[in-house]
């Protein structure tokens, strides 16, 4: 066999192997595409999620991350899930930590309730903070706590140097001891006082129980008296209005009383008439015969 023939045979074998590999790959992809559905989920952040990361549905591996792309300020993640998984609106899709080193998976809490999503829909996902994020936030909190501790220590040092802190503790201890002694000395009096208070409470309860009907009657009478006072107040208000009207008429000179009060001439004439009448009465008293004539038949 010539060298040229060997080369042709080799090229033919390589081409055949390439076609075979391409065919196997195409058939594999075709078979996989028939057995999966691609869902689009939007997250505010992915926290280091990568392509080909695992997707778990209720704890069972059912797919993987096919790809990710940035849309505005959020990230859309394409999930390749088994075709028997149908996401509903009550389902929850979250990026979840599964290890201490920050390994992440897509966790789908599948629910059969709610309307079904279409594969063209974009589902809103949730990013769950893991141990690294929590530790980072805890580090900031620990720093704040350390700062507060340092400041408290500084305050305690200043008080200790001035002697105020020790004196305050001593005074507090003395006050506490005095309070304890006072309670101990007056324990009998406190018991008597509590007993008297309890007896007074029982007596008051007995009085109110025995005279409940009388108390209710007294309350009814008080309520009736309040209503009567309200009606009296209404009547007095009406009388005040009437008096105000009469006063206004008198001031304007309306009616006999108004003319009498406001007409000076009429007042003078009445005064003159009264004086004349007084003079006449005095004259009658002094000379009765002048005015009385008695005849005998």
- Residue 124 sits in the same domain as residue 152: no
Q: Is residue 203 part of a domain?
A: no
Q: Is residue 284 part of a domain?
A: yes
pLDDT for res 160: 64
Q: Tell whether the model's pLDDT for residue 178 goes beyond 90.
A: no
- Are 42 and 75 in contact by the 8 Å Cβ rule? The answer is yes
pLDDT for res 111: 92
- Residue 75 sits in the same domain as residue 144: no
Q: Is residue 6 part of a domain?
A: no
pLDDT for res 279: 82
Q: Tell whether the model's pLDDT for residue 114 goes beyond 50.
A: yes
Q: Tell whether the model's pLDDT for residue 218 goes beyond 50.
A: yes
Q: Tell whether the model's pLDDT for residue 295 goes beyond 60.
A: no
- Residue 85 sits in the same domain as residue 49: yes
pLDDT for res 140: 62
- Tokens 């129980």: give the residue: 209
pTM of the model: 0.39
pLDDT for res 26: 61
Q: Is residue 261 part of a domain?
A: yes
Domain total for the chain?
Answer: 3
Q: Is residue 38 part of a domain?
A: yes
Q: Is residue 1 part of a domain?
A: no
User: Which has the higher per-residue pLDDT, 248 or 294?
Assistant: 248
- Residue 75 sits in the same domain as residue 152: no
In a 13 Å sphere around the CA of 94, the CA atoms on its Cβ side amount to 14
Q: Tell whether the model's pLDDT for residue 74 goes beyond 70.
A: yes
- Residues in a beta bridge with 126: 94
Lowest mean pLDDT among 64-68, 186-190, 204-208: 204-208
Q: Is residue 294 part of a domain?
A: no
Write out the DSSP string of the chain. --HHHHHHHHHHHHHHHHHHHHHHHHHHHHHHHHHEEEEEEEES--TT--TT-EEEETTEEEEEEEEEEEETTEEEEEEEEETT---BTT-EEEEEE-STT--EEEEEE--S-SPBPPTTSEEE-EEPP-HHHHHHHHHHHHHHHHHHHHHHHHHHHHHHHHTHHHHHHHHHHHHHHHHHHHHHHTHHHHHHHHHHHHHHHHHHHHHHHHTHHHHHHHHHHHHHHHHHHHHHHHHHHHHHHHHHHHHHHHHHT-HHHHHHHH-HHHHHHHHHHHHHHHHHHHHHHH-HHHH------
- Residue 150 sits in the same domain as residue 124: no
- Residue 48 sits in the same domain as residue 122: yes
Tokens of 37: 């559905």
Gap between the Cα atoms of 95 and 43, Å rounded: 9
- Residue 121 sits in the same domain as residue 139: no
- Residue 84 sits in the same domain as residue 68: yes
> In the chain, how long is the greatest CA-to-CA distance?
205
Q: Tell whether the model's pLDDT for residue 38 goes beyond 70.
A: yes
pLDDT for res 289: 67
- Tokens 């400041």: give the residue: 151
Average pLDDT, the chain: 79
- Are 108 and 84 in contact by the 8 Å Cβ rule? The answer is no
> pLDDT digits over 119-134, tens only?
899 999 999 886 666 6
Domain boundary among 105, 128, 151: 128
Q: Is residue 12 part of a domain?
A: no
Lowest mean pLDDT among 2-11, 26-35, 181-190: 26-35
Domain boundary among 77, 111, 128: 128
The residue range of the domain holding 150 is: 135-161
- Residue 46 sits in the same domain as residue 117: yes
- Residue 122 sits in the same domain as residue 37: yes
pLDDT for res 52: 86
């Amino acid at each position: 066999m010539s060298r040229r023939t060997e080369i042709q045979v080799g090229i033919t074998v390589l081409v055949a192997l390439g076609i075979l590999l391409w065919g196997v790959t195409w058939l594999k992809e075709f078979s996989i595409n028939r057995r999966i559905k691609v869902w689009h989920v939007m997250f505010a952040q992915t926290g280091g999620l990568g392509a080909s990361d695992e997707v778990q549905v209720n704890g069972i591996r059912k797919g993987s991350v096919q790809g990710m792309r940035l849309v505005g300020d959020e990230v859309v993640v394409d999930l390749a899930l088994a075709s028997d998984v149908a996401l509903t609106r009550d389902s929850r899709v979250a990026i979840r930590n599964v290890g201490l080193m920050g390994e992440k998976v897509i966790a789908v809490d599948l629910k059969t309730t709610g309307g079904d999503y279409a594969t063209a829909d974009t589902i809103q996902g949730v990013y769950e903070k893991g141990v690294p994020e929590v530790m980072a936030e805890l580090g900031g909190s620990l720093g704040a706590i350390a700062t507060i501790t340092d400041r408290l220590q500084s305050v305690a040092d200043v008080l200790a140097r001035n002697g105020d802190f020790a004196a305050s503790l001593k005074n507090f201890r003395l006050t506490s001891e005095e309070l304890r002694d006072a309670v101990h000395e007056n324990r009998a009096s406190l018991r008597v006082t509590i007993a008297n208070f309890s007896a007074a409470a029982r007596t008051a309860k007995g009085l109110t129980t025995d005279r409940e009907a009388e108390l209710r009657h007294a309350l009814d009478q008080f309520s009736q008296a309040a209503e009567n006072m309200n009606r009296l107040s209404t009547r007095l208000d009406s009388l005040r209005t009437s008096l105000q009207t009469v006063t206004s008429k008198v001031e304007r000179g309306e009616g006999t009383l108004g003319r009498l009060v406001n007409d000076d001439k009429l007042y003078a004439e009445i005064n003159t008439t009264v004086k004349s009448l007084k003079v006449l009465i005095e004259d009658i008293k002094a000379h009765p015969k002048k005015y009385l004539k008695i005849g005998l038949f």
